[in-house]
C-alpha cells in the first residue's frame, strides 16, 4: 500500500476555540473541523438568544455550553439525545451553582436536560481572597474541568480549581489552557491546582490543527497492512497539544513507524509489532477502541488500564468492544481493579457485521479490519460526528465502499 489520506481538523481544538472566540468577542478561526459536533457548536453559538439549545449527542457541546450559557447569564433550556440524557453532568452543575449560576434539572437529577436561569447576584469580591475557589473531582470527564477553566477569566476574581483523586485525560486540560493563553488568558497548572487570572480574552486568530484521534484509524490501517506499506498524513504537528498524539508511541509497538516530514506532514511505514503490549489510556481514552481491535487482529496480547471513562461515552464502549471483538475471535476481559486484557484466538475477518451503537469511534475502530477481509459496518453515518469524509477517504486509498447511504458499508 502506498497512499495519502486527509484527516479532518481537530474537533477538540475547534470546539474550545469557538467558546473562546465567543467570550473574546472576535477573532478569525481557520481550518475549523467539519465534524457534526463542531458545526453544531457554531450554529448554537450564532443564536445566543434561543430559548432551547439542543446539544444532540455531542459531549463537548453539552458541557462547554452549560458553562458558557450559565456564566454569561443566559436563560434557556439545554437538552440532547436520549443517550445524552443518560450522561451525568452533576459535577459541572454543582460547580457552576457554587459560582452563582441558577440551573435546574428538568428530568432526572444529575442529568440533562437543564433549565438555565441566569446568574444570582454575587457579593462584592473578597479583597483578601486571591481567587474564587472550587474543588472538583479529577477522575471524571476532563470536559467538565475544561468547561470551568474556559469561563474562569470572566469571573471578577478569576478561578482556582482544586482537583481531587486521579486526574484523567490531563492532555485535554493542557490543550484548553494552551488555547486560553493563545486568546490572552493567564492560567497556571500546578498539578492538583489550576489557576486562572481575571483577565478578559482578546480577539485572536487561530488555525486549527489536524485531528490526531482521526489519524489513529490510519495508523490502524497501516498496522494491518503488508510489511513495507506506506501512508502519508498532512496537517499534523510534531509538537501537538492533543493528547491523542500518544498514538505515535502506541502504534510504534504495534508495527507502525512514524516519520515527521516538513510542512506538518508525517509518513507511516509498516514494520514488525512487539509480542505483547501494556498501555495506560488514562490520558487518551479515545484511542482504546482502535488499539484493542489492532492488538486482537495482530494476535498481540495486551493489558489495558485507564478505561474508566469509556462507560459514559456515546455508548458503554467496554461492553460494545467485548460484544464486537467476540464476532472475530477476539476478547476484552475485565480482570478487576481497572485492568483489562485483550486476547484473540484464531482471529478471522470473513463478512461479519459490526454494530456501532450510535458511536462514531466503534465504526472507525473496526473499519481497518477490511485490510484483512470483507466486513459490514452498520449505521456508517455515525462517523459524521467527528470525521464526515472517513468513508470517502478510505475509498480514495483503494477500498471498495458500498452502501453508505443505505446504512451499511
Let me know if 286 is a catalytic residue. Answer: yes
Find the catalytic residue in 37, 57, 283, 286. 286
Angle, vertex CA 153, rays to CA 183 and CA 186, nearest 5: 60
CB contact at 8 A, 324 and 346: no
| Residue 318: partners with Cβ closer than 8 Å, 6 or more residues away | 307, 310, 311, 332, 334, 340
Q: Where are the alpha helices (DSSP H) in 99-228?
A: 142-151, 170-182, 212-223
Question: What's the Cα-to-Cα distance from 153 to each of 22, 101, 185, rounded to whole Å?
Answer: 13, 16, 6
> What radius of gyration do the chain's Cα atoms show?
21
29: helix, strand or coil: strand
Question: Helix 142-151 vs helix 90-98: angle between axes, to the nearest 10 degrees?
Answer: 20
Longest dimension (CA), the chain: 69
Tell how strand 230-234 and strand 256-261 pair up: unpaired
Grid cell, residue 398, equals 483503494
Question: What's the Cα-to-Cα distance from 81 to each of 70, 86, 112, 123, rounded to whole Å?
Answer: 20, 9, 9, 37
> Quick one: CA torsion of 196, 202, 208, 214, rounded to 10 degrees?
30
> Quick one: CA torsion of 193, 151, 281, 56, rounded to 10 degrees?
160
The dihedral built from the CA positions of residue 397, 402, 406 and 407, taken in this order, carries a sign that is: negative
Query: End-to-end CA distance of the chain, in Å?
Result: 21
Q: What is the DSSP letter of 131?
A: S
| CA pair distance 345, 343, nearest whole angstrom | 7
CB contact at 8 A, 53 and 73: no
**Which residues form the catalytic set?**
286
Amino acid at each position: 500500500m502506498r497512499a495519502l489520506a486527509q484527516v479532518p481538523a481537530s474537533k477538540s481544538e475547534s470546539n474550545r476555540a469557538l467558546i473562546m472566540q465567543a467570550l473574546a468577542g472576535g477573532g478569525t478561526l481557520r481550518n475549523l473541523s467539519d465534524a457534526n459536533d463542531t458545526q453544531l457548536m457554531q450554529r448554537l453559538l450564532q443564536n445566543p438568544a434561543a430559548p432551547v439549545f439542543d446539544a444532540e449527542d455531542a459531549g463537548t457541546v453539552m458541557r462547554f455550553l452549560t458553562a458558557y450559557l450559565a456564566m454569561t447569564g443566559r436563560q434557556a433550556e439545554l437538552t440532547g439525545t436520549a443517550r445524552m440524557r443518560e450522561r451525568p453532568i452533576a459535577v459541572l452543575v454543582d460547580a457552576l451553582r457554587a459560582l452563582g449560576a441558577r440551573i435546574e434539572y428538568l428530568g432526572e437529577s444529575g442529568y440533562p436536560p437543564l433549565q438555565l436561569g441566569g446568574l444570582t447576584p454575587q457579593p462584592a469580591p473578597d479583597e483578601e481572597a486571591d481567587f474564587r475557589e472550587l474543588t472538583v473531582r479529577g477522575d471524571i470527564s476532563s470536559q467538565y474541568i475544561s468547561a470551568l477553566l474556559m469561563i474562569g477569566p470572566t469571573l471578577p476574581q478569576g478561578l482556582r480549581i482544586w482537583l481531587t483523586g486521579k486526574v484523567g485525560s490531563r492532555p485535554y486540560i493542557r490543550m484548553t489552557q494552551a488555547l486560553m493563553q493563545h486568546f490572552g488568558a493567564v492560567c497556571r497548572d500546578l498539578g492538583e491546582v489550576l489557576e486562572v487570572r481575571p483577565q478578559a480574552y482578546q480577539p485572536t486568530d487561530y488555525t486549527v490543527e489536524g485531528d490526531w484521534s482521526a489519524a489513529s484509524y490510519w495508523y490502524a490501517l497501516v498496522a494491518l497492512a503488508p510489511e513495507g506499506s506506506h501512508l502519508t498524513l498532512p496537517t499534523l504537528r510534531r509538537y501537538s497539544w492533543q493528547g491523542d498524539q500518544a498514538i505515535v508511541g502506541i502504534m510504534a509497538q504495534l508495527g507502525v513507524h512514524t516519520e515527521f516530514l516538513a510542512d506538518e506532514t508525517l509518513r507511516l511505514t509498516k514494520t514488525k509489532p512487539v509480542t505483547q503490549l501494556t498501555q495506560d489510556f488514562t490520558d487518551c481514552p479515545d484511542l482504546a477502541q482502535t488499539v484493542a481491535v489492532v492488538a486482537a487482529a495482530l494476535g498481540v496480547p495486551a493489558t489495558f488500564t485507564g478505561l474508566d471513562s469509556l462507560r459514559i461515552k456515546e455508548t458503554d464502549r467496554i461492553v460494545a468492544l467485548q460484544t464486537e471483538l467476540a464476532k472475530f475471535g477476539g476478547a476484552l476481559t475485565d480482570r478487576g481493579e481497572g485492568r483489562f486484557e485483550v486476547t484473540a484466538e484464531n482471529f478471522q475477518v470473513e463478512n461479519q457485521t459490526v454494530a456501532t451503537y450510535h458511536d462514531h469511534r466503534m465504526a472507525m475502530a473496526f473499519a481497518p479490519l477490511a485490510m484483512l477481509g470483507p466486513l459490514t459496518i452498520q449505521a456508517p453515518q455515525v462517523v459524521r460526528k467527528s470525521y464526515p469524509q472517513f468513508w470517502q477517504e478510505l475509498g480514495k486509498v483503494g477500498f471498495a465502499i458500498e452502501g453508505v447511504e443505505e446504512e451499511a458499508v
